[in-house]
Amino acid sequence: MSAVRKILSWPGRAGDTRPTALWTAQEIADTTGGTASGSFQVSGVEIDSRDVLAGDLFVALIGESMDGHRFIDKAFANGAAAAIVDRPIAWPHVLVKDTGAALEDLARAARARVDARIIGVTGSVGKTGVKEAIFAALQRSSRGKAHRSIRSYNNHVGVPLSISRMPPRSAYGIFEMGMNHAGEIRNLTAQVKPDIAVITTIAPAHIENLGSEAAIADAKTEIFEGLNPGGVAIIPADNPHYERLCAAAEKHGARIVSFGADPSADMRLLDAIPAATGGSLVTAQLHDQRLCYTVAEPGDHWVMNSLAVMATVHEAGGDLGAAGLALGEMGGLKGRGARHRVVAPGGHVLFIDESYNANPASMRATLAQLGQTPATRRVAVLGSMKELGDFAAAFHSQIAEPLAQANIDFAVLVGEEMAVLAQELGKGPSATLGKTIGFAHCDGPGDAIAALEAYGLVGGDAVLVKGSNSVGLGQVVARFTDRER
């Protein structure tokens, strides 16, 4: 039998009889309590007129400094089929009292109408990558019926937007939830209503607002409050806050599945060795099953991420073989590990793009990864880590140790908070550093570009670019990867 005939002969699902249109005018009106201007169907939902595609529903949100109604004409010029608005317009629309509330109404209706396994993902580090890997695994084994939040749409707007986009025929939904303050995940998980809640790890991200790692752990455990009855909590067994996470999960009736290297972990790491492609070859134990698979993404942190992915796929009823293939094929995401080969004198320079986010744990992990990367010289372009508050000076200063352990030849430090690290490196060789690390301290990305050009990158160099998104180090990546071949 041909591959096409095999696909066509696969058994159907009950959800296959559901509508193919994402929303109709009447459904939107009934859901939001609004009034439709006429009959229409939409195939997507968007809040940014620049991203509107043909057939989308444009939701004209009103923020503190921006009114989406100003971009109605642009949205329709880009192909919008209709809009949700709070004032009459000449285009097809549904008129509501509050467009923000209407978006949340759509999300509630989308969540209620699907017969799908819903997965919520949070954590201090790795949640976007883990969310993408879970999606890739379940998308492969469900004939394209997995849905997830794109990019890092994980806040009070991004989560309802992502849920409202979930097709009626979805078999799986994977949603990322982030937070800066206590209480934010509580509101998001109430919308997602996950069957499976994943915490990747607990680390000092957003510690400025929460005060301690224990408080961060407590804020992350809010994800368990939205679990459906019989829900599953996927928890890192090696984390110092494991018992705290378990107690919170049990309080909300969750069944706990742990992952990690700890001998007690349900998804337990047995071995991980470097793969020829730069990733890792992983052997793990899941109950009575021995699993062997390749993780394309390099670094010990991705080995641990893969355990969380496998545990989640198993609990969701997915195919572990498909999950292994997905992990073996995943490439880095823009700003979160994407790798670029850039033409330079004498060959190519490897650029590792981690410019979207940074905290002490992820900084150490990616520097360790750079240290394991074959290279003639290793260069680290490091931007300030934000939202560390009174802890900022100590955490930035402590980066000197992983810089030395990674055998960094030159560091470009960007931002005011990096002054303490520059001071530490300026002390010269010590028992901690072991050798003198050349460095430049810059105010912004433009100066960082100039510092790299003055340093003179050549073939065989490897460059890590990492910092909080607000530092703007994506400009550094863009400047050099326009030479990519």
The string of pLDDT tens digits covering residues 56-96 is: 999 999 988 899 999 999 999 999 999 999 999 999 999 99
Give the per-residue pLDDT at 220.
96
- Does residue 71 fall inside a structural domain? yes
| Residues ≥6 apart with Cβ < 8 Å to 240 | 202, 213
Is there a single domain that holds both residue 180 and residue 235? yes
- Does residue 415 fall inside a structural domain? yes
Looking at the DSSP bridge assignments, the partners of residue 464 are: 352, 380
Question: How many domains does the chain contain in total?
Answer: 3
- pLDDT of 331 over the 90 cut: no
* Segment 107-140, tens digit of pLDDT: 999 999 999 999 999 999 899 999 999 999 999 9
Lowest mean pLDDT segment, chosen from 272-286, 297-311, 428-442? 428-442
- Does residue 107 fall inside a structural domain? no
Is there a single domain that holds both residue 249 and residue 179? yes
Domain's final residue, options 329, 355, 373:
329
> What mean pLDDT do residues 443-467 have?
96
Q: How does residue 12 score in pLDDT terms, banded at 50, 70 and 90?
A: low
> What mean pLDDT do residues 439-444 have?
96
CATH number at residue 158: 3.40.1190.10
Give the per-residue pLDDT at 431.
46
- Does residue 109 fall inside a structural domain? no
Looking at this protein, which amino acid is placed at residue 65? S
Domain's final residue, options 269, 298, 329:
329
SS3 labels along the chain: CCHHHHHHCCCCCHHHHCCCCCEEHHHHHHHHCCEECCCCEECEEECCHHHCCCCEEEECCECCCCEHHHHHHHHHHCCCCEEEECCCCCCCEEECCCHHHHHHHHHHHHHHHCCCEEEEEECCCCHHHHHHHHHHHHHHHCCCCEEECCCCCCCCCHHHHHHHCCCCCCCEEEEECCCCCCCHHHHHHHHHCCCEEEECCCCCCCHHHHCCHHHHHHHHHHHHHHCCCCCEEEEECCCCCHHHHHHHHHHCCCEEEEEECCCCCCEEEEEEEECCCCCEEEEEEECCEEEEEEECCCCHHHHHHHHHHHHHHHHCCCCHHHHHHHHHHCCCECCEEEEEEEEECCEEEEEEEECCCCCHHHHHHHHHHHHCCCCCEEEEEEECCCCCHHHHHHHHHCCHHHHHHCCCCEEEEECHHHHHHHHHHCCCCCCCCCCCCEEEEECCHHHHHHHHHHHCCCCCEEEEEECCHHHCCHHHHHHHHCCEC
Q: How does residue 376 score in pLDDT terms, banded at 50, 70 and 90?
A: very high
Residue 149 to residue 113: CA distance in whole angstroms: 18
Is there a single domain that holds both residue 146 and residue 239? yes
* Averaged pLDDT of the chain: 92
Is there a single domain that holds both residue 342 and residue 441? yes
Q: How does residue 332 score in pLDDT terms, banded at 50, 70 and 90?
A: confident
Domain span at 279? 114-329
Find, among 196, 206, 149, 203, the residue nearest to 176 by Cα. 149
Quote the percentage of the chain above a pLDDT of 90. Answer: 81
Which among 18-27, 210-219, 450-459 has the top mean pLDDT? 450-459
Q: Which value, to the nearest 10 degrees, does the dihedral of the CA atoms of residues 25, 29, 35, 41 take? A: -10
Indicate the pairing of strand 82-85 with strand 93-95: parallel
> What mean pLDDT do residues 210-229 have?
94
Looking at this protein, which amino acid is placed at residue 314? H
Is there a single domain that holds both residue 236 and residue 385? no
Residue with tokens 């949700």: 84
Q: How far is CA 332 from the centre of its chain?
A: 11
Is there a single domain that holds both residue 40 and residue 135? no
Which among 2-6, 233-237, 345-349 has the top mean pLDDT? 233-237
Is there a single domain that holds both residue 137 and residue 274? yes
- Does residue 266 fall inside a structural domain? yes
CATH number at residue 440: 3.90.190.20
- Does residue 106 fall inside a structural domain? no
CATH number at residue 78: 3.40.1390.10
Lowest mean pLDDT segment, chosen from 133-147, 206-220, 346-360, 441-455? 206-220
Output the pTM of the full model: 0.83
Domain's final residue, options 54, 78, 100:
100
- Does residue 257 fall inside a structural domain? yes
Is there a single domain that holds both residue 165 and residue 35? no
Give the per-residue pLDDT at 180.
84
Give the per-residue pLDDT at 148.
97
Looking at this protein, which amino acid is placed at residue 185? I
- pLDDT of 478 over the 70 cut: yes
Is there a single domain that holds both residue 349 and residue 315? no
Is there a single domain that holds both residue 262 and residue 244? yes
Is there a single domain that holds both residue 8 and residue 30? yes
Looking at the DSSP bridge assignments, the partners of residue 63 are: none
Is there a single domain that holds both residue 324 and residue 360? no
Q: What is the CA radius of gyration of the chain?
A: 24
- Does residue 105 fall inside a structural domain? no
- pLDDT of 210 over the 90 cut: no
